[in-house]
A and B are shown apart, each in its own frame.
Chain A
């Protein structure tokens, strides 16, 4: 069984469109994250949620809006897509938050977004 799953795996869309990426974890974790990995492989945290509450929001444009309907899901909605949004987006989850969270952090397979 997949621990952290993301859909879709690939997403190709036109500039200006609105799209969503879904993430689900079946590990019973309380904390979920979204990361962006650019073309140079640089990985940066975007958001983290703990028990459906926003904990971290790292200077991400407000076109990006995470939504957590329950603690097993953290979806990412992107409005008015721009060329610079092209990247791989990784969802992750962990049992804890704060010190020690990384030791139990599991990553999804990534969603490859290409904005044309």
Chain B
């Protein structure tokens, strides 16, 4: 069945470190892929998206590339800030339904 697998958290990094959060998916066809971010005490917000193979989504310094051959959509940022501390969710959109990963908590320390 459809599923999203994310790396287990929490991930703890120092400020200005490089971030990678891995995400792979299993789905029928070629779904649109998304990263959502959830800041403490808030709902989810769309961070970035990619709708077809080799598309790169980017926002706020975060990037992710839709890799059809490896069914992956890894999230990266070159230099994280304390304000990036949040839970990050990988997701894809199938027919009338969204499947989320389990979320990866990121903690950035000064």
Interface set of A (CB-CB < 8 Å, partner B): 4, 40-45, 48, 55-56, 90, 92, 97-103, 105, 107-110
Q: A109-B41, A109-B42, A110-B43 known; 13 other A-B pairs, CB under 8 Å?
A: A4-B43, A40-B102, A41-B87, A41-B103, A43-B44, A43-B89, A56-B96, A56-B97, A101-B93, A102-B49, A102-B93, A103-B32, A110-B41
Q: Mark B21-63, 1 if CB is under 8 A from A, else 0.
A: 0000000000010100010011111100100000000000000
Chain B hits for A102, CB < 8 A: 32, 34, 46, 49, 91, 93, 98
Chain A hits for B97, CB < 8 A: 45, 56
Q: What's the least CB distance linking A12 to chain B, in Å?
A: 17
Interface set of B (CB-CB < 8 Å, partner A): 32, 34, 38, 41-46, 49, 87, 89, 91, 93, 95-98, 100, 102-103, 105
Q: How far is the CA of A41 from the CA of B43 in the complex (A)?
A: 12
Can you name the residue of chain B whose Cβ is closest to the Cβ of A105?
B46
Residues B103 and A97 in contact, CB atoms below 8 Å apart = no
Residues A99 and B32 in contact, CB atoms below 8 Å apart = yes
Chain A hits for B100, CB < 8 A: 42-44
Q: How far is the CA of A90 from the CA of B44 in the complex (A)?
A: 9
Can you name the residue of chain A whose Cβ is closest to the Cβ of B49?
A103
Q: What's the least CB distance linking B22 to chain A, in Å?
A: 16
Chain B hits for A40, CB < 8 A: 102
Q: How far is the CA of A37 from the CA of B39 in the complex (A)?
A: 14
